[in-house]
Structure formats: structure tokens, C-alpha cells
Amino acid sequence: MDLGKLNNTRRAAVDLVFFNRVPKVGSQTFMELLRRLALRNGFAFHRDQIQRVETIRLAPPDQAALAAHVNSFEPPAVYVKHVCFTNFTQYGLPEPIYVNLVRDPVERVISWYYYVRAPWYYVERKQAFPDIPLPDPRWLKKDFETCVLRGDRECRYLEGETREGIGDHRRQSLFFCGHADACTPFNTVGALQLAKRAVERHYAVVGVLEETLAVLEHYVPRFFRGAADVYWGEMERFIRINRNMFKPPVREEVKDLVRANFTRETEFYQFCRQRLHRQLLALRLPS
């Protein structure tokens, strides 16, 4: 197994980590881990500001501005933002070290469904943006199983759709595919292939949080040295981050109904996990 082909860290032209974080994959926990590692390993930590509306797809001028903004930080540094994959070299800027996390796509949309219905979510939103209206109580009380079985609009995951107006980030692959129009149709082969290509060509490491730490320590040691010790040493603290006590269990048969519409999203998730396991094997580490 060729370790060089699996390690894109060597492609980076600057000592900057760009974590274009996917929502509801453990990214809040990972961000806190990065804060701790910044103190331990001597690099700067930066993140974007909380926004009223999260815009993850950017027009080319905004992509160029983002790339310039990230490159304005003195290396070594980390920058964190919810945004689609942005190819810095297209704008004449050095390639950073791209990292990200993924999660089972069905578990992820369930997590998002209850995340935006959690009481503390709206408390935080109202504190940041006082004029935001409160949602309909009936919507807040609606459970995921009812939403799916009743065929409500927000729980119909239709292949090829480009704009649902729901904002549930159902397209995990979009964060890797990029900003192009071809990336927006839900659960399509074209978007899947573009996302896979970006991971293979640009990302140092993409994986599930707990499984990723050993690979990060070896592939991106300047930033992730000691990551496993920090994470497991403070596990009780980390697992409490963004834990949603208001998320009830969802029956497997309901998950299976949803999963039938997430075939390419599931394939992308499995692709990322398989790549991570190949990286582990290349390092001769236990998987």
C-alpha cells in the first residue's frame, strides 16, 4: 500500500489547516479539540462568526475572498467554517491542509431534525438575533417518525431535488463536492463522484471522530500531535458538547425507509470510512 498516495498533507503549500466542517458529525467536539491542541502544539485557532443564515455555497468572488481570508492568518493556524469545499489554488493561493469529518447520513439528518427543535437552540439563536421569530409549537413537537410516515415535506428526501427550502443539510457530500451547480441535486451520481474526487485529491484526512485521531496524529502531526491523549483524557467533557437530551430513539424500520433515499450519500460515507481504514493500514495501526 502506497502511503504517499493516501497522504495529501504533502500537497499543502502552507501550514494552515482548513476544517470546512459538516454540521452534526461531531464537528463542535472536534472544534473544541482543536482549541485545546492549539494551546498544546503552538498554533493559532480561528473560526468564522455566528451567522443569521448559514451560506455554505458561495459565488466565485466570495470563494476567492474566503481563500484570501484564510491565507491572511499567520501560519501555523487553523480556520474553521461551515462551507463547501473551496479550491484555493483556483484563485492563485496556496493549498491548505484540508480535514473534515463524516457521519452516517441518516443518523445525521435525524440529529439535525432534533437539533433545530431543541429548546437551547432557540435560546442561543434569540440571544444572537433577537428579532428571529419563534417557530410554530406544532412544528417543534412533531417527532421524526411521524414526519417520515406521514410524508411531510421536510422528511421527503427526493433524489435529484436541488432546492427544498428546508435547510437541513441533507447533502453531506455537498461539503466535499463544492460550490458548483452540479453538486446540488440530492443523492445523485454526479455529485457523488465530484465529492469522492475532492476527497482523494485534496483532503488529508476525512473520517469519523474517534476513528480519525490516530490518522491525524500521523498525517498532520504539526497540528494533531497528542490528539488522542487530549480527547480520551477529557472524554467526559467532550461527549457532553452538543449532546441533545431531547432526541428520542427512532425505530430501525423508519430509518430504513429514509435510508432507501440516501443510497449515494451512504456510498460517500462508506467511501470516506474505507479511505480512512486504508490510511490506518498503511500506517500499520490497528483499525
- List pLDDT tens digits, range 15-70: 999 999 999 999 989 999 999 999 999 999 999 987 777 889 999 999 999 999 99
CA atoms within 13 A on the CB side of 52: 5
The answer as to whether 61 is a domain residue is: yes
Q: What is the pLDDT of residue 79?
A: 98
Residue 2 above 60 pLDDT?
Answer: no
Spatial CB neighbours of 202, under 8 Å, sequence gap ≥ 6:
8, 11, 85, 87, 95, 98
* Domain span at 195: 3-104+172-245+264-282
> How many domains are contained in the chain?
1
The catalytic site residues sit at 82
- Strand 77-80: give its sheet, edge to edge: 44-47, 77-80, 16-19, 97-101, 203-207
Q: Has residue 79 been placed in a domain?
A: yes
Whether 228 maps to a domain, the answer reads yes
Residue 33, in any domain of the structure: yes
Residue 82 covered by a domain = yes
- Output the pLDDT for position 118: 85
Q: Over the chain, what is the mean pLDDT?
A: 91
**Does residue 193 fall inside a structural domain?**
yes
Residue ranges of E strands in 175-259? 203-207
Q: Environment class of residue 137 by beta-carbon count within 10 Å: exposed (0-12), middle (13-18) or buried (19+)?
A: exposed
72-115 pLDDT tens trace = 999 999 999 999 999 999 999 999 999 999 999 999 999 999 99
Residue 145 within a domain:
no
State the pLDDT at residue 245: 73
Structure confidence by residue, pLDDT tens digits, 179-226: 999 999 999 999 999 999 999 999 999 999 888 999 999 999 999 999
Torsion over CA: 214, 220, 224, 226 (sign): positive
Residue 166: per-residue pLDDT: 65
Domain at 71, CATH number: 3.40.50.300
Domain assignment present for 152: no
Per-residue pLDDT at 238 exceeds 80: no
Q: Which residue type sits at 218?
A: H
pTM for the model: 0.93
pLDDT at res. 164: 63
Residues 6+ apart with CB under 8 A from 279: 6, 7, 205, 215, 219
